[in-house]
DNA sequence: GAAAAAAGTTAGCCAAGGCTAAGACATTGT
DNA sequence: ACAATGTCTTAGCCTTGGCTAACTTTTTTC
């Protein structure tokens, strides 16, 4: 038996019950979707930062900062190139295509907003950095705007 | 040449520059780590909810809610069982072990806090649901407490 | 109670993202 | 200039998390 599902109850106050199925599917799909681009965004963002602060972006630096092997970086860079985000000559520094630049800029901004928001909320710097890194890929435009608004209104300085 | 790295500058105001390497590694490691448990947490959380609101948790329901095939659910459930989170007989409903129950409870609470926090921030319900689903796995205890505090202080009702 | 439908499983495929080991290329030092 | 060192790539392996197709078991329906 199906235990008489208390189904089809679009009660606006039942906020903690199961959402309707199609909505639930959309939620999980959004998460899976974010996962696909997450890593590439992290790479592109890091490459952008390295170019900006160190003048060049070497695979070795990326491997050191990401905490993964150089082989892993090499493989991922191949994917980045195949997606038209990065350009490079073998054994040379990496650089970003226009598309990669745009993605890096977007990621950089978003990261900064989330990080500043968490700090303003009262989270310590080191925790804020860790959480921002994980959260940033799952923050929609709408939430990002809410965070910006909050930071603007509450930030001392 | 290494473009004269502006290294070893622990300036507290350089908050947007590259963090020191070891800290950077820890950030990325935390994200990778979260990824490993994320899916299992989602399953356990959903199974808990299904048990609570529908009386039983069938693979078909999970597949429908997650938007994946039954085969995928079956495979993942095998993993959940091997990790001691779920118990089940073949062709029968799933249930949670004590360990699974504890994880579900934790995830449920965390999810609720994040969701309510986003709503209180002024994010619309449907967006809040999507973002909460993605964000929840990357929110530390400290940030969770900050969110609770904020919600307590700002929530109408 | 047997046929049809639904639910669950298994096998085999694929891509992503890790790893190690081995080799190719580049830079540096003497 | 060439050997040592460091950087990058390739090959091959593993696990995770998707899929389809084919099969088994359970449930429903007539």
For B82-103, what is each residue's pLDDT tens digit?
999 999 999 999 999 999 999 9
**Residue B135 CB contacts under 8 Å (≥ 6 apart), including other chains:** A135, A138, A139, B114
Q: Do A127 and B143 touch (CB under 8 A)?
A: yes
Instruction: For residue A133, give the nearest of B16, B28, B121 by CB distance.
Output: B28
* pLDDT of amino acid A5: 40
Parallel, antiparallel, or unpaired: how do β-strands A86-88 and B94-96 relate?
Answer: unpaired
In whole numbers, what is the pLDDT of chain B averaged over residues? 90
* pLDDT of amino acid B14: 46
Q: Do B131 and A112 touch (CB under 8 A)?
A: no
pLDDT band at B124 (very low <50, low <70, confident <90, very high): very high
CA-CA distance, B47 to A28, in Å (whole number)? 14
What are the residues facing A88 on neighbouring strands? A94
Quick one: which residue's CA is nearest to D11's C1'?
A71
A114-134 residue pLDDT tens: 999 999 999 999 999 999 999
Q: Confirm or reject CATH 1.10.10.10 for domain A22-154, answering yes or no.
A: yes
A8-25 residue pLDDT tens: 333 444 456 889 999 999
Number of Cβ within a 10 Å radius of residue A99:
13
Q: Confirm or reject CATH 1.10.10.10 for domain B21-154, answering yes or no.
A: yes
Residue with tokens 């002024």: B122
Q: What are the residue boundaries of the structural domains of chain A, listed by start?
A: 22-154
């Amino acid at each position: 038996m199906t235990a008489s599902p208390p189904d089809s109850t679009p009660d606006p106050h039942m906020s903690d019950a199961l959402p309707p199925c199609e909505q639930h599917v959309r939620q999980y799909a959004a998460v899976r979707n974010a996962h696909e681009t997450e890593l590439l965004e992290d790479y592109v963002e890091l490459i952008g930062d390295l170019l900006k602060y160190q003048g060049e972006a070497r695979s070795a630096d990326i491997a050191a900062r990401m905490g993964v092997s150089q082989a892993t970086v090499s493989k991922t860079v191949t994917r980045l190139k195949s997606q038209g985000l990065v350009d490079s000559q073998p054994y040379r520094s990496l650089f970003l295509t226009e598309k990669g630049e745009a993605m890096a800029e977007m990621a950089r901004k978003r990261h900064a907003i989330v990080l500043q928001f968490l700090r303003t909320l009262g989270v310590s710097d080191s925790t804020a950095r860790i959480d921002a890194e994980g959260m940033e890929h799952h923050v929609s435009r709408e939430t990002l705007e809410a965070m910006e608004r909050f930071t603007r209104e509450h930030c001392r300085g």
